[in-house]
């Protein structure tokens, strides 16, 4: 099913053919190509990170979906096949090189831009060639990783002048990630998500917060339970800790 788009007058200066995150997309290759254009993140702070993976990830997508776009299935089938993900509107299996989107309504054969874009962020994340789940999950866990992916989506939409949706997607997990970015910036998160360099963020969290594995798992738990308030309280406490001093390289350096 092909959907045509009209650019809203206030967004005529933007490259995207979308003006709302709620706009419907079908399963045609043309529609998926439109979403991939948005996925470039043009002008956003994530653009350099996305560019690093874009060609490899896009090539893997085209190889998987040679003649059509996204796979969109009925709500009944989605909920049956992915019973543990009933609250999700889409799911990406990087290990299997597969994206499955839940139909928005019945007999529409369509989903929304924001849902498809969220799944593409997962697809473009490291490893871009697929074959393994997102590397950043090692540090962030599944739930904070979802929050980070949605932060990327929201930033891309805002920079391209695409109106936000009223539909709440991972609101609590987004709030936790944005709170963490206030302390650590976005670059380390970009490296973790798109380059696979999650250890750099881990080391900085360990240095600045003296973060223990138990405390990290506590943040995972709050994210899983969508308890952003508790997570932010925890982060505020961590922010009050004095950073660790760097270890001396040698006694000669210390007394030099």
The tokens 């074959």 sit on which residue?
131
* SS3 label, residue 100: strand
Q: What is each CA distance from 205 to 77, 109, 220, 237, 251, in whole angstroms?
A: 41, 44, 14, 13, 26
Q: Which of 4-13, 159-168, 170-179, 238-247 has the lowest mean pLDDT?
A: 4-13
The tens digit of pLDDT for each residue in 78-115 reads 999 998 887 899 999 999 999 999 999 888 899 999 99
DSSP 194: I
Q: What pLDDT, on a 0 to 100 scale, did the predictor assign at position 246?
A: 65
Question: Quick check: bond before 111 cis, omega within 30?
Answer: no
Q: What is each CA distance from 108 to 1, 3, 97, 104, 248, in whole angstroms?
A: 9, 11, 25, 7, 63
If one compares 2 and 28, the residue with the highest pLDDT of the two is 28
Please give the Cα distance from 34 to 18 (Å, whole number).
9
Both tokens of 146, joined, read 């979802």
Q: What pLDDT, on a 0 to 100 scale, did the predictor assign at position 201?
A: 97
Please give the Cα distance from 56 to 236 (Å, whole number).
39
CB 192 within 8 A of CB 136: yes
The tens digit of pLDDT for each residue in 175-230 reads 999 999 999 999 999 999 999 999 999 999 999 999 999 999 999 999 999 999 99
Please give the Cα distance from 46 to 187 (Å, whole number).
9
What is the C-alpha R_g of the chain?
20
Q: What pLDDT, on a 0 to 100 scale, did the predictor assign at position 16?
A: 67
The tens digit of pLDDT for each residue in 21-64 reads 999 999 999 999 999 999 999 999 999 999 999 999 999 999 99
Q: What pLDDT, on a 0 to 100 scale, did the predictor assign at position 15?
A: 52
């Amino acid at each position: 099913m092909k959907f045509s788009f009209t650019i809203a007058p206030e967004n005529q200066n933007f490259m995207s053919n979308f003006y709302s995150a709620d706009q419907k997309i079908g399963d045609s290759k043309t529609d998926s190509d439109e979403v991939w254009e948005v996925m470039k993140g043009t002008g956003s702070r994530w653009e350099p990170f996305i560019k690093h993976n874009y060609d490899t990830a896009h090539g893997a997508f085209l190889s998987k979906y040679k003649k059509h776009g996204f796979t969109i299935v009925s709500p009944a089938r989605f909920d049956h096949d992915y019973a543990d993900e009933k609250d999700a509107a889409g799911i990406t299996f990087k290990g299997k090189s597969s994206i499955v989107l839940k139909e928005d309504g019945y007999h529409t054969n369509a989903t929304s831009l924001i849902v498809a874009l969220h799944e593409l962020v997962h697809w473009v994340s490291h490893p871009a060639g697929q074959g393994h789940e997102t590397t950043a999950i090692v540090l962030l866990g599944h739930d904070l990783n979802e929050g980070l992916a949605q932060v990327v989506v929201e930033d891309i939409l805002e920079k391209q002048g695409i109106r936000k949706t009223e539909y709440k997607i991972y609101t609590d997990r987004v709030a936790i990630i944005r709170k963490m970015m206030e302390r650590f910036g976005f670059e380390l998160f970009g490296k973790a998500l798109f380059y696979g360099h999650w250890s750099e963020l881990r080391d900085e969290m360990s240095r600045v917060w003296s973060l223990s594995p138990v405390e990290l798992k506590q943040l995972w738990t709050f994210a899983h339970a969508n308890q952003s308030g508790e997570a932010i309280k925890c982060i505020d406490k961590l922010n009050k800790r004095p950073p660790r001093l760097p270890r001396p390289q040698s006694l000669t350096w210390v007394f030099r």
